[in-house]
Structure 1
Amino acid sequence: MTTEHTAVLLVDDYTSTCSRCRRGAFTQDTHHNRIADGWSTPGPRSDRPCGALFVAISTRRLEYTEADLRKIRPDLPAYTAGMAPDLTT
């Protein structure tokens, strides 16, 4: 039986990344199935997404609030900078 990996969608001013593999991610995706470079453009074909399920949204930007993050992904729990759950265990 395989266990699905989970990750936090980390958003910044112009980019978003997956907390599991640290590669670019699209904010509208439920799983990390596509790589996004800066400005949410598709990455090179050699880059592989990790496939993790996004279970929360957070940021590294102190000025972003949970309300700001909920506007991006209302379906995910939102955490301010430094408050996202650690999913590495």
Structure 2
Amino acid sequence: MTTRPAVLIVDAYSTKCSRCGKGTGIQDTHHTRLLSGWGTPDPRDKPCGQRFVAISTRRLGVTAEELRALRPDLPAYASGDLPAHLRST
């Protein structure tokens, strides 16, 4: 069984991991810590540890160029443009 890759998902006030859905830091290369834009993470929650392979957003109007400016080291995809192999099931 293959594990789907993790994409860094940027929102207006938070950043999260596409694999487990929990908050993370925008500068993180792997999901090794929990952060939240609103509220405090549940202390029982754990990050999934996956390496981020791309950056994207669900916000319409945010371009791939804007995302590349945030993380030039990752391939960037505007909302709805993620390749099939990076999409959640």
* TM-score of the superposed pair, with normalisation by structure 1: 0.83
Q: Does 1:80 align with 2:78?
A: yes
Q: 2:34 matched to which residue of 1?
A: 35
**Structure 1 counterpart SS, 2:7:** strand
Letter aligned with residue 8 of structure 1: V
Q: 1:15 matched to which residue of 2?
A: 14
What displacement does 1:42 show? 6.8
Which one has a larger percent strand, Structure 1 or Structure 2? Answer: 1
* TM-score of the superposed pair, with normalisation by structure 2: 0.83
Note the residue ranges of structure 2 that are not aligned, 5 or more in a row: none
Q: How many residues align?
A: 86
Q: 2:60 matched to which residue of 1?
A: 62
* Misfit runs of 4+, over 4 Å: none
Note the residue ranges of structure 1 that are not aligned, 5 or more in a row: none
What displacement does 1:24 show? 0.5
Indicate the percent of aligned positions where both proteins have the same amino acid.
55
1:79 & 1:5 partners in 2: Cα distance? Answer: 17
